[in-house]
Protein backbone atom coordinates (compact mmCIF):
# COMPACT_ATOMS: atom_id res chain seq x y z
CA UNK A 1 0.00 0.00 0.00
CA UNK A 2 1.29 3.45 -0.86
CA UNK A 3 2.12 5.83 1.95
CA UNK A 4 0.34 9.16 2.30
CA UNK A 5 3.36 10.78 0.67
CA UNK A 6 2.89 8.65 -2.42
CA UNK A 7 -0.85 9.37 -2.49
CA UNK A 8 -0.02 13.09 -2.49
CA UNK A 9 2.22 12.78 -5.57
CA UNK A 10 0.53 14.11 -8.71
CA UNK A 11 1.56 14.37 -12.34
CA UNK A 12 0.87 17.33 -14.62
CA UNK A 13 1.76 18.24 -18.16
CA UNK A 14 4.52 20.86 -18.00
CA UNK A 15 2.39 23.13 -20.21
CA UNK A 16 -0.03 23.44 -17.27
CA UNK A 17 2.58 24.52 -14.73
CA UNK A 18 2.93 28.18 -13.82
CA UNK A 19 6.10 30.13 -14.54
CA UNK A 20 6.85 29.96 -10.84
CA UNK A 21 6.47 26.16 -10.79
CA UNK A 22 8.68 25.81 -13.87
CA UNK A 23 11.24 28.08 -12.21
CA UNK A 24 11.20 25.89 -9.12
CA UNK A 25 11.72 22.77 -11.26
CA UNK A 26 14.73 24.39 -12.92
CA UNK A 27 16.41 24.87 -9.55
CA UNK A 28 15.92 21.31 -8.25
CA UNK A 29 19.00 19.13 -7.99
CA UNK A 30 19.98 15.49 -8.43
CA UNK A 31 23.31 13.83 -7.60
CA UNK A 32 26.35 14.61 -9.76
CA UNK A 33 26.23 11.06 -11.15
CA UNK A 34 22.54 11.45 -12.07
CA UNK A 35 23.25 14.79 -13.71
CA UNK A 36 26.07 13.31 -15.79
CA UNK A 37 23.88 10.39 -16.89
CA UNK A 38 20.53 12.13 -17.37
CA UNK A 39 21.12 15.85 -17.25
CA UNK A 40 20.01 18.47 -14.78
CA UNK A 41 16.44 19.60 -14.25
CA UNK A 42 17.26 22.78 -16.18
CA UNK A 43 18.69 20.82 -19.10
CA UNK A 44 15.57 18.66 -19.24
CA UNK A 45 13.33 21.72 -19.18
CA UNK A 46 15.40 23.30 -21.97
CA UNK A 47 15.08 20.11 -24.06
CA UNK A 48 11.31 20.12 -23.53
CA UNK A 49 10.95 23.80 -24.42
CA UNK A 50 13.07 23.48 -27.57
CA UNK A 51 11.32 20.39 -28.95
CA UNK A 52 8.19 20.25 -31.10
CA UNK A 53 5.19 19.65 -28.81
CA UNK A 54 3.87 16.80 -30.96
CA UNK A 55 7.17 14.91 -30.48
CA UNK A 56 8.07 15.66 -26.84
CA UNK A 57 5.85 15.45 -23.77
CA UNK A 58 7.07 16.96 -20.54
CA UNK A 59 5.54 15.94 -17.23
CA UNK A 60 6.09 17.40 -13.79
CA UNK A 61 5.60 15.65 -10.46
CA UNK A 62 4.13 17.64 -7.61
CA UNK A 63 4.05 16.65 -3.96
CA UNK A 64 1.47 18.63 -1.99
CA UNK A 65 1.39 21.05 -4.96
CA UNK A 66 5.17 21.64 -4.90
CA UNK A 67 7.29 20.59 -7.90
CA UNK A 68 9.57 17.70 -6.94
CA UNK A 69 10.42 15.97 -10.21
CA UNK A 70 9.91 15.59 -13.93
CA UNK A 71 10.35 13.38 -16.96
CA UNK A 72 10.18 13.62 -20.73
CA UNK A 73 8.66 11.32 -23.34
CA UNK A 74 9.74 11.48 -26.97
CA UNK A 75 8.44 9.92 -30.14
CA UNK A 76 9.80 9.70 -33.68
CA UNK A 77 11.59 11.41 -35.16
CA UNK A 78 12.80 12.92 -31.87
CA UNK A 79 13.22 9.56 -30.10
CA UNK A 80 16.42 7.50 -30.40
CA UNK A 81 17.03 5.56 -33.62
CA UNK A 82 16.57 2.21 -31.83
CA UNK A 83 12.95 3.02 -30.92
CA UNK A 84 10.19 1.61 -33.12
CA UNK A 85 7.85 3.90 -35.04
CA UNK A 86 4.81 3.48 -32.77
CA UNK A 87 6.75 3.81 -29.51
CA UNK A 88 7.42 6.55 -27.01
CA UNK A 89 10.70 6.66 -25.12
CA UNK A 90 11.11 8.02 -21.60
CA UNK A 91 14.02 10.29 -20.73
CA UNK A 92 15.49 11.57 -17.49
CA UNK A 93 12.91 10.72 -14.86
CA UNK A 94 14.13 12.84 -11.95
CA UNK A 95 13.13 13.26 -8.34
CA UNK A 96 14.66 16.09 -6.31
CA UNK A 97 17.67 14.99 -4.27
CA UNK A 98 16.17 15.54 -0.78
CA UNK A 99 13.24 13.24 -1.67
CA UNK A 100 15.22 10.40 -3.20
CA UNK A 101 15.24 7.02 -1.51
CA UNK A 102 11.54 7.16 -0.59
CA UNK A 103 10.28 5.14 -3.59
CA UNK A 104 8.79 8.28 -5.17
CA UNK A 105 10.48 7.28 -8.43
CA UNK A 106 8.30 4.15 -8.53
CA UNK A 107 5.13 6.18 -8.03
CA UNK A 108 6.28 8.88 -10.44
CA UNK A 109 6.96 6.31 -13.16
CA UNK A 110 3.48 4.77 -12.75
CA UNK A 111 1.85 8.21 -12.87
CA UNK A 112 3.91 9.20 -15.91
CA UNK A 113 2.96 6.07 -17.86
CA UNK A 114 -0.72 6.66 -17.04
CA UNK A 115 -0.46 10.26 -18.24
CA UNK A 116 1.41 9.17 -21.39
CA UNK A 117 -1.49 6.87 -22.28
CA UNK A 118 -3.95 9.77 -21.86
CA UNK A 119 -1.91 12.35 -23.77
CA UNK A 120 -0.68 10.09 -26.58
CA UNK A 121 -3.27 7.26 -26.75
CA UNK A 122 -1.98 6.06 -30.12
CA UNK A 123 1.36 4.96 -28.62
CA UNK A 124 1.60 1.15 -28.64
CA UNK A 125 4.90 0.64 -26.82
CA UNK A 126 7.03 2.36 -24.20
CA UNK A 127 10.78 1.89 -24.64
CA UNK A 128 13.76 3.12 -22.67
CA UNK A 129 17.47 2.78 -22.16
CA UNK A 130 18.94 2.75 -18.67
CA UNK A 131 22.52 2.58 -17.46
CA UNK A 132 23.45 -0.94 -16.42
CA UNK A 133 24.76 0.36 -13.08
CA UNK A 134 21.58 2.27 -12.18
CA UNK A 135 20.15 -0.27 -9.72
CA UNK A 136 17.31 2.00 -8.56
CA UNK A 137 16.00 2.61 -12.06
CA UNK A 138 16.40 -1.05 -13.04
CA UNK A 139 14.25 -1.99 -10.03
CA UNK A 140 11.55 0.52 -11.02
CA UNK A 141 11.33 -0.72 -14.61
CA UNK A 142 11.46 -4.42 -13.74
CA UNK A 143 8.90 -3.89 -10.99
CA UNK A 144 6.57 -2.28 -13.53
CA UNK A 145 6.75 -5.38 -15.72
CA UNK A 146 8.95 -3.98 -18.45
CA UNK A 147 10.83 -6.55 -20.51
CA UNK A 148 14.63 -6.33 -20.73
CA UNK A 149 15.56 -6.66 -24.39
CA UNK A 150 18.42 -9.01 -23.60
CA UNK A 151 22.12 -8.30 -23.85
CA UNK A 152 23.57 -5.15 -22.39
CA UNK A 153 24.27 -2.56 -25.09
CA UNK A 154 27.14 -0.11 -25.26
CA UNK A 155 25.39 3.26 -25.08
CA UNK A 156 26.74 6.79 -25.29
CA UNK A 157 27.60 6.79 -21.57
CA UNK A 158 28.58 3.14 -21.14
CA UNK A 159 26.74 -0.13 -20.69
CA UNK A 160 22.96 0.09 -20.76
CA UNK A 161 19.85 -2.07 -20.76
CA UNK A 162 16.94 -1.46 -23.07
CA UNK A 163 13.45 -2.14 -21.79
CA UNK A 164 10.02 -2.09 -23.36
CA UNK A 165 6.41 -2.73 -22.52
CA UNK A 166 3.47 -3.01 -24.88
CA UNK A 167 0.25 -1.10 -24.27
CA UNK A 168 -1.67 -3.28 -26.74
CA UNK A 169 -4.30 -5.64 -25.31
109 Cβ neighbours under 8 A, 6+ residues apart: 71, 90, 93, 140, 141, 144
Q: How confident is the model at residue 5 (pLDDT cuts 50, 70, 90)?
A: low
The per-residue pLDDT for range 91-138, each reduced to its tens digit, is 989 999 999 988 898 999 999 999 999 999 999 999 999 988 888 888
pLDDT at residue 1 greater than cutoff 70 = no
| Per-domain residue ranges of the chain | 4-121
Q: How confident is the model at residue 2 (pLDDT cuts 50, 70, 90)?
A: very low
- Closest among 50, 61, 74 to 28, alpha carbons compared: 61
Torsion of CA 98, 100, 102, 104, to 10 degrees: 110
CB atoms within 10 A of CB 6: 17
pTM for this predicted structure: 0.91
CATH of domain 4-121: 3.40.630.30
Query: Element (H or E) spanning 89, and its range?
Result: strand 87-95
pLDDT at residue 4 greater than cutoff 60 = no
Amino acid sequence: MKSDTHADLKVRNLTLLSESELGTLATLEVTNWQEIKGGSFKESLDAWQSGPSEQILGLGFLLKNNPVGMTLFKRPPLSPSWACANAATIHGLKISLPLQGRRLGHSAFELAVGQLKKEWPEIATLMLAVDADNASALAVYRGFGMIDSGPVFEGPDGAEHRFEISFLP
